[in-house]
Amino acid sequence: MNLALVHSRARTGVRAPAVRVEVHLAGGLPRFSLVGLPEAAVREAKDRVRAAITCAQFEFPARVITVNLAPADLPKEGGRFDLPIALGILAASGQVPLEALQDCEFVGELGLTGELRAVDGVLPAALAAAQAGRRLIVPEGNGAEAALASHVVVHTARTLLEVCAMLAGRKPLPAAQPMPVRRAATVDLADVRGQAHARRALEIAAAGGHHLLLVGPPGCGKTLLASRLPGLLPEASEDEALETAAIASVSGRGLDPSRWRERPFRAPHHTASAVALVGGGGEPRPGEISLAHHGVLFLDELPEWDRRALEVLREPLESGVVTISRAARQNEFPARFQLVAAMNPCPCGWAGDASGRCRCNPEAVRRYRARISGPLLDRIDLHVDVPRLPPAELRPDLPMGESSADVRARVIHARERQLARAGRINARLDQAQTQASCRLAPHDQLLLERAVDALHLSARSIHRILRVARTIADLDGAPQILSPHLTEALGYRGMDRGDAARAA
């Protein structure tokens, strides 16, 4: 038999489309042709494969070798096809059994000595192999990551020779073993002194999945509060954790298989570009908003960010996905993150402080806050002032506040009510669900309409206020939104009040 077919997987965004590695041997002067839209790293595979086969004490055929990576219109990149190409050549030349390749998929880069090296994006390949009903053979360095996928048999190998021994039936390969789940030392909300109003807003944000903006002077605890939000969220489900882990797997930044169940907390620096935030590049990779999928994205010093970088967040905040388009193709990455932003109230940071140290004129304050567009602020549900605390409230001998575990228990109960009522958390309610779940009494509807006129709120803001009020009611265990719930929700539109005052 001069023809062999080996199954493998490419990497396209967070998907792993099937690739058939077809190898044909023919007579004539020795030549090695690799077709099927290979990129530079794939074209170089011919030299790595030749050396690896020779070092493994196999014969490299002195014939016309044609390798086709099908489908031909799917770009192929990286060294992930080295192992299937080598096995295809050995099978077509009769050095390994051809029938042993049928129920297996192979991914791995070869060293010149035949050593197998880890590659990116193995977890999506394992999930896809499970759907196809095939076993997956990966380098030893990818074993713990691939083992996260359930319903798939994953084997690991250190060298090409070990894979060939398994195919020949001489020595089985070991099964991939997941790493023990390691819990990171979590920070606790009890560490936050005072700031009862901000702590309450943080609990509401966690319960309903709402976006949050913290406004206050330097050193008042904005970053401290934001870093406590992941500890208030319920543990990610297996499906959510696998989605997040798959994004980390294809990002090129590495996945820690021992911490795959943790919700991500991403805090990029304010000098990050729009591409760093949403993803991109010649070979599109996920950005910070996708790496924060099912977790928290914290943007500190919000007005210092580049305006264009912030504006690209507007669509993902609504849709939960980001689409990166290139001339030849598109890649879609999930981006269902919870935004927490922090900013100072003015350029010097001390506007409104009791010390009176702020010397910024009103025009400077207006220009500073205008760096954040109205449409972006409109998409942030909770605007919270975080004042500087007097020294007496920071004394270490004062009683600690509630712990993250206590608050998380209330958050979980509130989310259970939301899921039972609408099948999703309140921040993700669509318009019809908002109308059905957030009905107001007639006098509360009049209160909301007066607030809309006074604050010049948009229809989007109205819906977000209603969803926040519904979350507050869920935390109280109330079946309907009551006046205190609506009043509290209106109180979290501080930036809208500031805009209305400046307009007046």
- Whether residue 196 contacts residue 203, with contact meaning beta carbons closer than 8 Å, is answered with no
Confidence class of residue 501 from pLDDT cuts 50, 70 and 90? Answer: very low
| pLDDT interval class at 395 (50, 70, 90) | confident
Residue 249 to residue 410: CA distance in whole angstroms? 33
Interatomic CA distance for residues 25 and 66, integer angstroms: 7
* CATH 3.40.50.300 for domain 189-401: yes
CB 14 within 8 A of CB 247: yes
Strand-strand pairing, 212-215 and 154-157: unpaired
As a whole number, mean pLDDT of residues 289-298 equals 96
**Distances from the Cα of 227 to the Cαs of 46, 69, 192, 221, 420, in angstroms?**
48, 46, 11, 10, 29
The pTM score is: 0.90
Residue span(s) of the chain under CATH 3.40.50.300 come to 189-401
CB 61 within 8 A of CB 107: no
Instruction: Extract the tokens encoding 394.
Output: 């920071």
- Residues 6+ away with beta carbon under 8 Å from 172: 155, 166
From residue 340, how far is each of 44, 212, 401, 455 by CA, in Å? 45, 5, 21, 23
Report the alpha-carbon distance of residue 208 to residue 128 in Å, rounded. Answer: 32
pLDDT tens for 75-133 read 899 999 999 999 999 999 999 999 999 999 999 999 999 999 999 999 999 999 999 99
Q: Report whether pLDDT(496) > 80.
A: no
Is residue 146 a contact partner of residue 116, using CB atoms and an 8 Å limit? Answer: no
Residue 8 amino acid letter:
S
Query: Do 50 and 89 contact (CB within 8 A), yes or no?
Result: no
Q: What token pair was written down for 129?
A: 């192999």
Q: How many CB atoms lie within 10 A of CB 121?
A: 26
Give the least confident one: 130-134, 158-162, 219-223, 420-424. 219-223
What is the CATH architecture of 3-167?
2-Layer Sandwich (3.30)
* Beta-bridge partners for 383: 213, 493
Give the CA-trace dihedral at 459, 463, 465, 470, to 10 degrees. 160
Do 266 and 298 contact (CB within 8 A), yes or no?
A: yes
Task: Let me know the angle formed at the C-alpha of 369 by 366 and 373, rounded to the nearest 5 degrees.
Answer: 120
Q: Which value, in Å, is the radius of gyration of the alpha carbons in the chain?
A: 28
Do 13 and 332 touch, CB atoms closer than 8 A?
A: yes
The C-alpha atoms of residue 401 and residue 404 are separated, in whole angstroms, by 9
The 10s digit of each residue's pLDDT in 206-260 is 999 999 999 999 988 899 999 999 999 999 999 999 999 999 999 887 788 888 8
pLDDT the model gives residue 492: 92
State residue 393's pLDDT score: 80
Q: How far is residue 304 CA from its own chain's centroid?
A: 24
Lowest-pLDDT range, 216-225, 335-344, 480-489? 216-225
Identify whether the C-beta of residue 298 lies closer than 8 Å to the C-beta of residue 227. Answer: yes
**CATH 3.30.230.10 spans which residues of the chain?**
3-167
pLDDT one-digit tens code per residue, 435-455: 999 999 999 999 999 998 988
